Amino acid sequence: MLRIDVVTIFPELFEPFRAVGVLGGAIERGLLSLAAHDLRRWTRDRHRTVDDIPYGGGPGMVMKPEPLVEAAEELAGPKHPLRVARVLLLAPQGARFHQAKAAALARESHLVLLCGRYEGVDQRASELAADEELSIGDYVVSGGEAPAMVVIEAVSRLLPGVLGNPESSAAESFQQGALEAPHYTRPAEFRGCAVPEVLRSGDHGRIRAWRATQSKVRTQRRRPDLQAAPCQTGEQ
């Protein structure tokens, strides 16, 4: 079972998130545990302060290092190469998150996700608490919560037993360095657009071949970079 702890100033965001869909089912079946912890639990002052003004001036506030480091240490133990838990700080400047990384994280037993807010976190929190910084893409959102949810969604569907049919994730986009073939469902015709005849033929050999070709052509057209550097599942 994979244990995930999230440290955030908005733990309530994770209540509806953990209750629905594939993730909700995985939690219900005991394949995954997900707890969201209020960062303010690790503050010591009357106002439960998690941020302060930046040294050197500039706009906005910076998240203080003490609560983040103490939260990570309580949940994961002190930072050490042999620490079992992996502590990830969500940060736009971190390493880009991708499917191979999701597969690697799905093999861990315990993840602790630290969510920043404001202008970001004091650099010492990253150095003293996190094993790595992870970015979900080259854009900035207002907090680490949505990025943490992206990581949790991508990792959880790769855990054994989470998807009813393990082939679902094996054939999925990025898993084999390619995009998946297009999907269709009923009706067979909609506003003059028909479902390709081959998919209705019942000939599984032809369907497999059609999907393989579609996947190849789509990948060449839309994401030629994937074929140039195929995703190595298991790569760190």
Which residues sit at the interface with ligand SAM, rule CB under 6 A? 90-93, 115-117, 119-121, 135-137, 139-144, 147
Nearer Cβ to ligand SAM, position 131 or 181? 131
Nearer Cβ to ligand SAM, position 119 or 132? 119
Residues 6+ apart with CB under 8 A from 165: none
Nearer Cβ to ligand SAM, position 43 or 214? 43
Q: In 3D, which of 177, 180, 214 has the Cα closest to residue 103?
A: 177
Largest Cα separation within the chain, whole Å, is: 69
Angle at 31 between CA 29 and CA 37, to 5 degrees: 100
Nearer Cβ to ligand SAM, position 24 or 92? 92
Nearer Cβ to ligand SAM, position 10 or 184? 10
Q: How far is the CB of 6 from ligand SAM (least distance, A)?
A: 11
| 145-169 as b/e: b if 16+ CB within 10 A | bebbbbbbebbbbbbeebbeeeeeb
Q: How far is the CB of 135 from ligand SAM (least distance, A)?
A: 4
Q: How far is the CB of 69 from ligand SAM (least distance, A)?
A: 15
Q: How far is the CB of 189 from ligand SAM (least distance, A)?
A: 41
Q: How far is the CB of 207 from ligand SAM (least distance, A)?
A: 38
Spacing of C-alpha 133 from chain mean position: 12
Q: In 3D, which of 157, 96, 100, 175 has the Cα closest to residue 132?
A: 96
